[in-house]
Amino acid sequence: MALYAYNRRDDGNLAQAETELMFSVGKTYDLYHYLLLLLLEIVDIAAEKIEQALQKKMPTAEDLNPNKQFIDNLVIAQLRNNRALDKYISSKKLTWVNNSHIPRLLFNKLIIWDTYIEYMQTSGHIYSTDKKLIINIISDLFANSDDLLANLEEQSIYWNDDIEYVTLMIEKTLKKFKADSDDNTKLMPLFKNEEDEEFVKILFRKAVLNSEKYSGLIDRNTTNWEIERIALMDILVMQLAITEILEFSEIPVKVTLNEYIEIAKYYCTSKSSTFVNGILDNIVKEIREKGFINKSGRGLVGETVDGKK
C-alpha cells in the first residue's frame, strides 16, 4: 500500500514516502497493543457489572455470588500486569475512552457467545483453558466484529486492513505465554532485529528505484497484454516480488513466489493471483537463465549448483 501511495504521488519524494511507510508500520504496532488493551477494557466492564449487581438494594443470590471465571482469567491477569504492555500503552497514550461504546458492544456479544457461555460453566482455572478463551476472543470475536472493524477504520486510515494480520500476531504472542510467565514477559517486538527493519526499507527503496526496469521485465513476459492494461496493484506486487528475489540472497525464490501470490489474493482482483503467478514464473525463468539470481545460505533451497531450478 505504501508503494501504491508513492506511485500516486506527484512529487516523487522517495524520502517522504519512506517516512510514511515506517509511520504506517508503527501504527500497526500501535494496533497490536490497542487490541490487547481492548481485552482488558472488556474484562473491566465485566467486573463493573458484577460490582453494580452487588450494589442493588435487593441483590439476588446470583448477584451475591457472582461468577468470576472471566474476570479472574489467568492470562488476563498476566496481561494486566505485563510491564511491556503497560509501558507502551502509557507512552503512546492509547485509550478507549473516546470509543468506549466498542468494548461495551463487544461485551454484550461476548456474554451471549456459545464459546464464552461454555467457558463460564467451568469451575476453577486451568491455564490452557483460560488461554484458549482469550485467543478465541481475539481471533474470532474481534476479527469478525463489523462494529470493531468500522471503528478502527474511522480512527486511523492505517488500520483499514491491519486487523487480520494483527490478530494473528496477538495469537502468536499469547501462545508463547506460559503459566509461570511473569510481569517481564516480552511481547512481540516491532522488528525482530535491525536486519528485519532494513529489509522493509531496502525492499521499498529498491522497488521504487528499479520500477522502470522491472516494468520492462514484466512487459516482456506478459503474453497478449500491454503493461498499460495491467492493473497497477498487480504490477506493484510483481515489482516487489522481483525486488525480493534479486536483492535478498537469503530468501528462497519459492518462498517469495508463494508470499506474493498470497498478497495478490488479498490486495488485487479475484483472478490476479493466477495471473501474477504465471507472469512471475516466466520472469524467474528469464532472470535465472541470465544468471541474475544469486542465492546463498537458506536462500539456496530449491536452487541447484548451476543456479537452475
pLDDT digits (tens, 9 = 90+) for 147-199: 999 999 999 998 988 888 999 999 999 999 999 999 999 999 999 999 999 99
Q: Closest by alpha carbon to 174, among 234, 112, 127?
A: 127
Q: What is the pLDDT of residue 307?
A: 47
Residues 165 and 270 in one domain: no
Of residues 114 and 275, the one with the higher pLDDT is 114
- Looking up residue 287, the CATH number of its domain turns out to be 1.10.940.10
**Does a structural domain hold residue 153?**
yes
- Give the torsion sign (CA, 238, 207, 189, 268): negative
- pLDDT for 226 equals 65
Q: 234-269: per-residue pLDDT in tens?
A: 899 999 999 999 999 999 999 999 999 998 888 888
Say if residue 209 is in the same domain as residue 276: yes
Kindly report each contact of residues 226-231 with a partner whose C-beta sits within 8 Å and lies 24 or more positions away, as own/partner: 231/268, 231/269, 231/272
Question: Which of 144, 175, 206 corresponds to the end of one domain?
Answer: 175
- State whether 153 and 235 are in the same domain: no
Buried b (16+ CB within 10 A) or exposed e, 24-37: beebbbbbbbbbbb
As given in the structure block, the three cell numbers for residue 52 are 453494580
Shared domain check, 201 and 139? no
Pair (210, 167) in one structural domain:
no
**Among 175, 206, 227, residue at a domain's last position:** 175
Residues 71 and 169 in one domain: yes
The amino acid at residue 200 is: V
Calculate ∠ Cα 142-91-148, nearest 5°: 15
pLDDT of residue 228: 67
Q: Which amino acid is at 196?
A: D
CB 38 within 8 A of CB 96: yes
> CB of 182 within 8 A of CB of 168?
no
Distance (Å, rounded) from C-alpha 181 to C-alpha 270?
A: 43
305 falls within a domain: no
Considering only CA atoms, which of 181, 127, 137, 154 is closest in space to residue 36? Answer: 137
Q: Does residue 306 fall inside a structural domain? A: no
* Domain, as residue range, for 154: 27-175
Are 138 and 55 in a shared domain? yes
Residues 31, 135, single domain; the answer is yes
144 and 241 within one domain: no
For residue 236, is it within any domain?
yes
H-helix segments, 55-126: 61-64, 74-81, 83-92, 101-110, 114-120
Contacts of 161 (CB under 8 A, 6+ apart): 1, 266
Q: How many domains does the chain have?
A: 2
Residue 38 domain-assigned (yes or no): yes
What is the pLDDT at residue 97? Answer: 97
